[in-house]
Amino acid sequence: MKIEDFTDSELDEFLRLQRLSYAIQQSAIDQLHDGITEREVARILMKAYRGEGVEAWFHLPVVLFGDRTALPDPWTVLGFWPTDRALQPGDAVILDASPIFGDFLVDTSQSLHHGTNREHDKIATADLGYRTAVLDAVRGGATFKEIAVGVDEELTSAGYENRHRLHPGAVLGHRVVKLERAVEPDQDGFDQTLIGWFVANAAAAAPPAVASPTWGAYAGSDHPPADGLWAVEPHIARDGIGVKWEELLVIAGNDVRWLDDAPPHLANAR
């Protein structure tokens, strides 16, 4: 797999496909209504992604309604898969999918609420603040561990819960790659080679010789920001309402920027 030194044309393709993934998620958002279930929304997403040629996934679409967006304890990886939970007025909603379009892996997530939910709006605004904070910290040369710890300390002091600590590998972010082989998820919904690579590095007692593909508050991430494309996904919660966004960050030497200047979560906040 290719993990860095992406050409301009490859970055353009990642950008096109990230936007396509967001658009597919928006098409599902447009079909939300009272009583629709997580499983039904997941089927809408699967059909739309397959219509765009997706046959393999880093992980299958995740659909979370209501308090499930906050990943309530006790939470396991199986909790990410859709249930028969029906959408109710005011519910928080999270959509997350990591499709592989040909050779290109992308990972996108959107948060919203169905009807009025002012508390969700407040949490979403707070979560969006980490978009600037993370970018500034990477540009400042902080280690990936220092950035993850800083995000955790800031959100906790503001009265929020860190829920990305319950993501596989407890990641704030992870590498996005261009693949040289076809992959298919197993019955648990993850590509096992990729997720195994991530989780093994998250468990490392010290930084690996080659920069870890994971980005979290642990020893294996205690290295300077590494070149490549990184899916960043701060996930915070309060009082049973969870919010997250996910998009790709470009690191190429001194060129550090978000791949897209106007992702949906930024546009929706204006």
The pLDDT tens digits for 214-248 are 999 998 899 999 999 999 999 999 999 999 999 99
Q: Which domain holds residue 54?
A: 8-268
The number of distinct structural domains making up the chain is 1
What is the Cα–Cα distance from 249 to 68, expressed in whole angstroms?
Answer: 27
CA 21 to chain CA mean position, Å: 12
Residue 267 confidence class, pLDDT cut points 50, 70, 90: confident
Is residue 143, in this structure, part of any structural domain at all?
A: yes
Band of the pLDDT at 14, cuts 50, 70, 90?
A: very high
Spatial distance between the Cα atoms of 102 and 122, rounded to a whole number of angstroms? 38
Asked if the structure places residue 86 within a domain, the reply is: yes
For 117-145, b where at least 16 C-beta lie within 10 A, e where not — what string? Answer: beebeebbebbbebbeebeebbeeebbbb
Kindly state whether residue 3 falls inside one of the protein's structural domains: no
CA gyration radius, the chain: 17
pLDDT digits (tens, 9 = 90+) for 156-193: 999 999 999 999 889 999 999 999 876 666 556 766 66
Which one, of 142, 200, 191, lies nearest residue 171 by Cα? Answer: 200
The CATH number covering residue 258 comes to: 3.90.230.10
Q: Is residue 2 part of a domain?
A: no
Question: Residue 248 and residue 108: Cα distance in Å, rounded?
Answer: 8
Q: Quick check: is 175 in a domain?
A: yes
> Is residue 1 in a domain?
no
Q: What is the pLDDT of residues 18-71, one digit of tens each?
A: 999 999 999 999 999 999 999 999 999 999 999 999 988 999 999 999 999 999
Contacts of 236 (CB under 8 A, 6+ apart): 123, 126, 127, 155, 160, 161, 162, 163, 242, 243, 244
